[in-house]
Structure 1
């Protein structure tokens, strides 16, 4: 038998609210007795502990002025769609002014909107209209680096004596005149770029057009805190933090003894998650926590173990509220055992802090194709979505995921000319194609020429058609999100790890304080599978009926369930 260890956050959610008892009329007529000690009332958990956050790549979501580039007004136009789908918040990837060497992640002005995306007035309208619909908006805050065109860097490289010189990381050449170290950039090549006018190298863990900020400088830290305050004052509900592991480097500048076969480039001991990073993130968290309204930090991180992920929350839960679980995201293929291991460790080794489960994003191939077998992709998408959206904690979705948008095929990108709209050909372009709102030219994304081609799949995979089809993937997602909001166990219940008795099937449950809950069964194989479920921490509950199934009208033998190929069952149960 597996006995779940429920951390303090999950336990608080599972206990629910304690009701105060009122006095009867007879009691009211008597002298009031000495009041018993007040019962503790569980504090409601912040919205983000059980939210669904929908990532939008604004460049590709909705164009409103015909220039082929999505904009902030396009996001505003689609807020009703997002509300109807059931998301709690949206995360917008960078829309700052940028030379677009890395499409917005090379920021040239942290407190402005790029003209192709609109104006600050458009941003203010977006947050205002989102708030009316119960949707919060997160800004992608690029902490580690700026563009080499940012005024701060232009000042920094103007002379060694400039006051902002130390806002970036500069170093003298090696004795032979070459780079100070042999460190490699995540995007390839050396992390050092020589600046001839001042005779020093500057450091960049990403592109040379993205010089690293020096977070050891108090002036730089204050400036970045002021950036955060700017967006919080303009209605942001928090931030998705980019590249947080790389804020500090080992200033002893050791040579890498094993560049080619040692730790991955993003997990080197000299460039990733150094102790000073913890203090810097606590400082930023204090800024965010000083604003009302349960603002939040969602963070990108680089980890190799669940113990590493736990550290990102902070020893006292005072750093990143929601570190993204890349251990879960990076599971290769449909592997029930691998997923069970990742889910169980997130539930049992994070001290009850909310996990952040996700698969697709702007840097990762879309899950519809990544997990699909080319024949049953829609059925498999029901598995991956059910898993992510029925687990405890926070779930991330990527735009178009809800309709099964595929990546662009190589031949769809081949021959697309570079120009002002698409200055570089990025190997992540396939997962950044325009949102497919309807069939036809432009797919409802633009009336002009899109910056990336619309996928040919838009003819059959689009929002308009799927909203009209009650059996579509879109409605599957919408029902999952609705169940997540309305079912107490799904919203805030504890996670119960179970054994399916079958290596191809993942089984677990969510259970509320009253003992009622949802059993989740996921067949990750292309063959029918018979199960023998065990591991309940107490007596086996009583079936309460099918809540959702990938097979319409399916019934299930509670004692010995059988799942069809790539089958999903969400079965309600009642406490004993």
Structure 2
């Protein structure tokens, strides 16, 4: 089977409204994003994942959709979107868009029609009940912000179901016309030229709570129909699923080729646990449990994205350990299981520790994802509420408003202006001029990763070192083996030749932290150091 393009792609996530303002109104837009595509091309990005850009009241960062067939007027027009797609295609950058299937906005015309009468065709687009059904509050998506999943609607004189905010009523996936509408939405955007979809809250699509006569099996069958439908309209389409679950549940969504790609939340959380403890145990265990995937499926690996750093899959004591290291203050945490901080501040600055984390990310089985701004070391804005702390405007230069907007008015969100992560100190222009910047270092890492297709396609293997701080893993390809050495401890460690499985002179260095030296007995790796090696057959 031919290799799928996404198995070795470099992904980049951004929100159009916070990336670049092209018309000076203080809000990022498609005109501004189009201007910056060369920057992303130069960085080495293969695929852009765009957060929702549909018309929305923005109660939930655009995930409360009012119209699935249009662009929010604040961000431009469908014509602007088409121009953006055309330029992205010329630069070889594919585009994924968010497909929000679990819910709409209360202001969506479907819901407004549904409220008016039970006889309206749209009434069954949503889930209604004369009284709230029992529900486990521990399963609330936004603990501390929402206390229930049923809300009374005065006009309908019924309760409607919402697993997220009350302004986001759940769509009734059990209803055939809803499923048909979803296929129409996909066809529309595929026809415009997108390369696929990131399916929001995929697990919610197989939830049977509140639905009559709908089974988990039917939900999984529908997900398979989405993939078949999309593949029939674009042979190289990608369906990327958000599934925050353990290996067993993730396998459920991969079985039978239902979906092409999954965010690997399981590995992400155990990676941070390993970084917090300075021991490989948690990460190695997670890697051992991951199944090998066929050529048309892949993991998407990440460190941070637009939401909180979610630690829900860890045990309480493990979560507390991660909190104590990376979010020691209460206002750095959210929902009881998440961290609302940007990547570089988590590690205390753009030094060896964050480079170690990136090296781990890019050497994991799967394809890596970068979040906008993390490549220059942007910081969070903790005085903003909730998840907004990590959704501040991109910092392009030391010009007013960080070069995000040249307008006189306010920006869509406050630009980080003070402290060590303020836009005067941290911005793209300054980073590009500094040979030692995180941005320039990441460009070299991305270039190296592109020269290592074995990571996306090869057979994963591991070697075990005596020192528990040292992770040794690699990939076997048709012509070579790659081996990665990562020291999770701040103290130097030695990997002996016996542990490495080869002798001096049998490997070529590909990438390193700059402080790892060969030793007569093996390879000595500095604290929080790493090495990428190519071993000759």
Fold match by TM threshold 0.5? yes
1:572 aligns with 2:527: no
* Structure 2 residue 220 is the aligned partner of structure 1 residue 278: yes
User: Which residue, 371, 386, 392 being the options, matches 1:433?
Assistant: 392
**Does the C-alpha gap of structure 1 residues 541 and 167 become closer, same or farther in structure 2, counting only changes over 3 Å?**
farther
Q: Does residue 281 of structure 2 align to residue 320 of structure 1?
A: no
Equivalents in 1 of 2:370, 2:186: separation in Å?
A: 24
Contact 1:97 1:112 in 2 (8 A): yes
Please list, as runs of the form range in 1=range in 2, the aligned pairs for 1:68-147 lying within 5 A after superposition: 68-147=26-105
Q: What is the number of equivalent residue pairs in this alignment?
A: 489
Q: Does the C-alpha gap of structure 1 residues 542 and 170 become closer, same or farther in structure 2, counting only changes over 3 Å?
A: farther
Runs of 4+ that moved beyond 6 A: 538-541
Say whether the 8 Å CA contact 1:356–1:394 is kept in structure 2.
Answer: yes
TM superposition score normalised by structure 1: 0.80
CA contact (8 A) 1:408 1:430 kept: yes
Cα offsets for 1:327-386 (capped at 9, x unmatched): 11223440422122222322x4656742221121110245634641x2x64211211111
Moved more, 137-146 or 349-358: 349-358
TM-superposed deviation, 1:170: 0.8
Gaps spanning 5+ residues in structure 1: where? 1-42, 174-178, 255-269, 414-425
How far did 1:492 drift? 3.1
Q: d(CA) in 1 for partners of 2:135 and 2:52?
A: 31
Tell me which residue corresponds to 1:308.
249
Q: CA RMSD in A?
A: 2.4
3-state DSSP class of the match of 2:96? strand
Residue 475 in structure 1 maps to residue 440 in structure 2? yes
Please list the CA deviations of residues 478-510 of structure 1 after superposition, one character each: whole Å capped at 9, or x if unmatched.
112112222343453332212232111222122
Where 2:256 maps in the other structure, the secondary structure is coil
Match of 1:503 in 2: 468
Partner of 2:18: 60
Residue 165 of structure 1 and its aligned partner are, at CA, apart by 0.9
- Please say if 1:180 is aligned against 2:145: no
Structure 2 unpaired stretches of 5+: 309-339
Find the residue that maps to 1:402 and give its secondary structure: coil
Whole-Å separation in 2 of the counterparts to 1:239 and 1:194 = 33
Listed one character per residue, the Cα deviations across residues 422-462 of structure 1 (whole Å, up to 9, x for unaligned) are xxxx4011111111112232111111332222223222222
Q: Kindly tell me: are residues 469 and 250 of structure 1, through their superposed partners in 2, closer, same or farther at Cα, counting changes over 3 Å?
A: same
User: Displacement of 1:392 after TM fit?
Assistant: 2.8
- Equivalent residue number for residue 172 of structure 2: 214
Q: CA deviation at 1:559?
A: 4.7
- Contact conserved, 1:379 with 1:550, CA < 8 A, in 2? yes
CA contact (8 A) 1:546 1:569 kept: yes
Matches within 5 A, 1:447-458: 447-448=406-407, 449-455=410-416, 456=418, 457=421, 458=423
Q: Tell whether the 8 Å contact from 1:96 to 1:111 is kept in structure 2 after alignment.
A: yes
Give the 3 Å change call, closer, same or farther, for CA 73–436 of structure 1 in structure 2.
Answer: same
Decide whether the 8 Å contact of 1:500 with 1:534 is kept in 2.
no
Larger radius of gyration, structure 1 or 2? 1
What's the CA shift for 1:144? 0.3
Deviation at 1:61, TM superposition (A): 0.8
Greater Cα offset, 191-200 or 235-244: 191-200
Contact 1:497 1:507 in 2 (8 A): yes
The 2-side partners of 1:366 and 1:559 are apart by 41
* Alignment of structure 1 residues 144-543 onto 2, 5 Å: 144-173=102-131, 179-184=132-137, 185-187=140-142, 188-250=146-208, 274-303=216-245, 305-313=246-254, 315-317=255-257, 319-331=258-270, 332-333=272-273, 334=275, 335-346=279-290, 348=291, 353-364=297-308, 365-366=340-341, 368-369=343-344, 371-372=346-347, 374=348, 377-410=350-383, 413=384, 426-448=385-407, 449-455=410-416, 456=418, 457=421, 458-490=423-455, 492-514=457-479, 516-532=480-496, 543=506
Supply the distance in 1 between the matched residues of 2:356 and 2:209 (Cα, whole angstroms). 46
- Is the Cα contact below 8 Å between 1:541 and 1:574 reproduced in 2? no
More RCO (CA 8 Å, sep 6+)? 1
Deviation at 1:293, TM superposition (A): 4.3
What TM-score do the two structures reach when normalised by structure 2?
A: 0.86
Following TM superposition, by how much is the alpha carbon of 1:466 offset from its aligned partner in structure 2, in angstroms? 1.6
Moved more, 187-196 or 141-150: 187-196
Secondary structure at 2:464 match in 1: coil
> How far apart, CA to CA, are the structure 1 residues paired with 2:216 and 2:452?
41
Query: C-alpha separation between the residues in 2 aligned to 1:120 and 1:551?
Result: 47
Structure 1 residues 558 and 105, CA, compared in 2 at 3 Å: closer, same or farther?
A: farther
Alpha-carbon distance change, 203 to 472 in structure 1, aligned in 2, over 3 angstroms: same
Structure 2 equivalent of residue 548 of structure 1: 511
Q: Is the contact made by 1:307 and 1:349 (CA closer than 8 Å) also made in structure 2?
A: no
Aligned to 1:330, what secondary structure does the other structure show?
helix
Determine the C-alpha separation between the residues in 1 that align with 2:478 and 2:370. Answer: 28
Does the CA-based 8 Å contact 2:305-2:371 persist in structure 1? yes
Distance (whole Å) between structure 2 residues aligned to residue 228 and residue 550 of structure 1: 44
